[in-house]
Amino acid sequence: MEFLKRQLRNLLITGLFSAAVSATAAGTSLNDTIIIRNNTDTERIARDLDSLVNTWYVRIAVDKLPSDFTGDSLGMEEPDSVYSQRLARINSIIQLPYNSIIRNHIHVYTIRQREKFSAVLGLKDYYFPMIEDVFDSYGLPAELKYMAVIESALNPNAVSRVGATGLWQFMYSTGRMYNLTINSVVDDRRDPLKATHAAARYIRDLYNIYNDWILVIAAYNCGPGNVNKAIRRSGNKKDYWDIYYRLPRETRGYIPQYVAAAYAITYFPEHKIEPLPLNIPVATDTIVVNKDIHLAQISEVMRIPLGELQALNPQYKTGLVPGTSKPQSLTLPINHLGDFIDLNDTIRSFKPDVYLSKATVIADPTRSTNVPADIKGKTKLIYTVRSGDNLGYISEWYRVGLSDLRYWNGISRNTIRVGQKLVVYVDPSRSDYYSKVNTMTFEEKQKMSGKTVPVNTQQSLASQASVAPAAAVQTEGDYIIHTVRSGDTIWDIVKLYGNVTTDQVLSLNNITDPSKIKAGQKLKIRKKS
């Protein structure tokens, strides 16, 4: 158990997360071969779990772990037949299929990230009863609660890279549409109860559109507009697996993640994973506050840890409960509720000039909790693009994700230009090492990242493909020969070249089923004119 305490403490100290997996997986469903890159999906799961490790109750629990806690026991793979049979035994009106993509996501929870997943298991006894109660009042299946696991790892303070916030990861516009208050002091997207009611209404509205729970789950992730476009482009087919390739990549992994979460939550004892023992007060109550009050005032007068009050009331971003402008709810452990009522006047008169002044209640952007978890504590470096560079090279030189590099720099495609300044965030302990990249030659940078230096012809060809490594590119007359890498799809490859379409590549290479390209296969791509 000391191993788990050490691992989780290291995560708290460094603020880093390890990538869940770098391998890709291929799976089969409805007799169609499905090829998907798992990196983005599994890294997102790891990032969510890592943010959970940094929450107040989890940090306190790690310090108090008993010596016989077995959450760090080695995870083992099960045969496919076992996974399939167990999924079939889960009572669910939502179909829970099984394929190797789903198996890979199951492994994330039960093997690769099992230590951090124990924290999710520790939180489920607090959040799941509330979610089930709310969903039941709206006539929704209780098993939709698993969506909260893949949305936020049951972390009400979770913030995605694009600003989706809270237990149910509402974007600003969607949150406002469902009457959630969002301003510099209050963010109801972080309020587990209010956000769950909003999620239930949103899910109910989606079901009224699709009458299919799998499509509802997909639409919750990427929006009904993207699902509707996928349906139209697939000849009006309304089965998730029929429109699979027409959905955004993240949504393709969303259903497998949902199934894996349902499996892991149900069968964690079979994998010898113990829930992290969290001291969350299951018995809580709320009281309406009609005047401004600060959580720090309550903490100091009632001797309740401020971190606990913030964890129970995550919607108050600055700690101020602005009851004067509008009645607000305050959640307290039920055993403290009576004392709060008795001490109300004492609490309000405690240091009001400190805690209720305008300077205190205005949000400080330098301490904003909306800073994405992946750049918190990181060092910002600037890289100047040179001739022959591409995003694939640059992400390898700095050991950062390609999608991260795009996001940090607002790049929607893969096109970059010579002289362009790119922002890169790296670990502070390695900032001196990576700061030298901007002054290195191409050969030095390739050698640093463990790559062989391509010959000039290969490098020139690689520059035509925005992110393809030179080793994957050769020439043959008027064509570039692209070698398919593990996890590539035909759509990924076409995006690398700015002068061809999917149909042209399929026709040129006599491919009738785009899902059946495989690693090592050579594809002809017409050179840029």
- pLDDT tens digits, 321-370: 999 888 999 999 888 888 899 898 899 888 888 888 754 554 444 344 44
Q: Dmax of the chain from CA atoms?
A: 86
> According to the model, what pLDDT value does residue 28 have?
31
Q: Annotate 338-350 with DSSP letters as a single string.
A: HHHHHTHHHHHTS
Name the one residue in this structure whose structure tokens are 């039920």. 334
Q: Is residue 373 part of a domain?
A: no
**Domain region containing 443:** 378-453
User: Is 127 in the same domain as 165?
Assistant: yes
Tell whether 255 and 293 lie within a shared domain. no
Q: Are residues 448 and 504 in the same domain?
A: no
CATH code of the domain covering residue 211: 1.10.530.10
Q: How many structural domains are present in the chain?
A: 4
Give the separation between CA 213 and CA 215, rounded to whole angstroms.
5
Selection from 262, 317, 271, 316 nearest residue 289 by Cα: 316
Are 422 and 316 in a shared domain? no
**What CA–CA distance (Å, rounded) separates 39 from 22?**
6
Alpha helix locations (H) across 413-528?
Answer: 431-435, 442-448, 456-464, 490-496, 502-508
How confident is the model over 213-237, as pLDDT tens digits? 999 999 998 888 899 999 999 899 9
User: Is 67 contained in some domain?
Assistant: yes
Indicate whether 123 and 169 sit together in one domain.
yes
161 inside domain: yes
In a domain, residue 261? The reply is yes
Do 35 and 46 share a structural domain? yes
pLDDT at 192 over 90: yes
Burial class (CB in 10 A: 0-12, 13-18, 19+), 367: exposed
- Residue where a domain stops, chosen among 215, 243, 271: 271
Q: Which range (54-63, 117-126, 174-183, 361-370) has the least confidence? A: 361-370
Q: Annotate 6-35 with three-state secondary structure.
A: HHHHHHHHHCCCCCCCCCCEEEEECCEEEE
CATH number at residue 446: 3.10.350.10
Please indicate, yes or no, if residue 353 is contained in any of the structural domains.
Answer: yes
Percent of the chain with pLDDT over 90: 25
CB atoms within 10 A of CB 463: 16
In tens, the pLDDT along 235-294 reads: 999 888 889 888 888 788 888 899 999 999 999 999 999 888 877 776 788 899 999 999
pLDDT tens for each residue of 396-417? 898 887 767 776 776 655 677 7
Q: Say whether both 111 and 244 belong to one domain.
A: yes
Confidence band for 449, pLDDT divided at 50, 70 and 90: confident
The pTM score is 0.61
pLDDT band at 77 (very low <50, low <70, confident <90, very high): confident
**Is residue 349 one of the residues assigned to a domain?**
yes
CB count within 10 Å of CB 423 equals 13
Q: What is the pLDDT of residue 259?
A: 94
Residue 305 shares a structural domain with residue 217: no
Q: What is the pLDDT of residue 32?
A: 31
Round the average pLDDT of the chain to a whole number and report it: 77
Q: Please report which helix (H) or strand (E) contains residue 289, including its range.
A: strand 284-289
Pairing of strands 32-36, 284-289: unpaired
Establish if 372 belongs to a structural domain.
Answer: no
Nearest residue to 374 (alpha-carbon basis) of 19, 3, 7, 105: 19
pLDDT at 74: 62
Residue type, 50: D
| Residues 144 and 180 placed together within one structural domain of the fold | yes
Could you say which of 271, 300, 317 is where a domain stops? 271
Residues 342 and 253 in one domain: no
What pLDDT is attached to residue 60? 56
188: phi then psi, degrees, rounded to nearest 5 = -65, -10
pLDDT band per the 50, 70, 90 thresholds, residue 459: very low
Where a domain ends, among 435, 453, 471?
A: 453
> Which of the four pLDDT bands, split at 50, 70 and 90, describes residue 453?
low
Check residue 352 and give its pLDDT: 86
Q: Is the pLDDT of residue 375 over 80?
A: no
| Residues 6 or more apart in contact with residue 225 via CB below 8 angstroms | none
Residues 401 and 483 in one domain: no
In a shared domain, residues 476 and 447: no
Whether 484 is in a domain gets the answer yes
Residues 6 or more apart whose CB falls under 8 angstroms from that of 31 comprise none
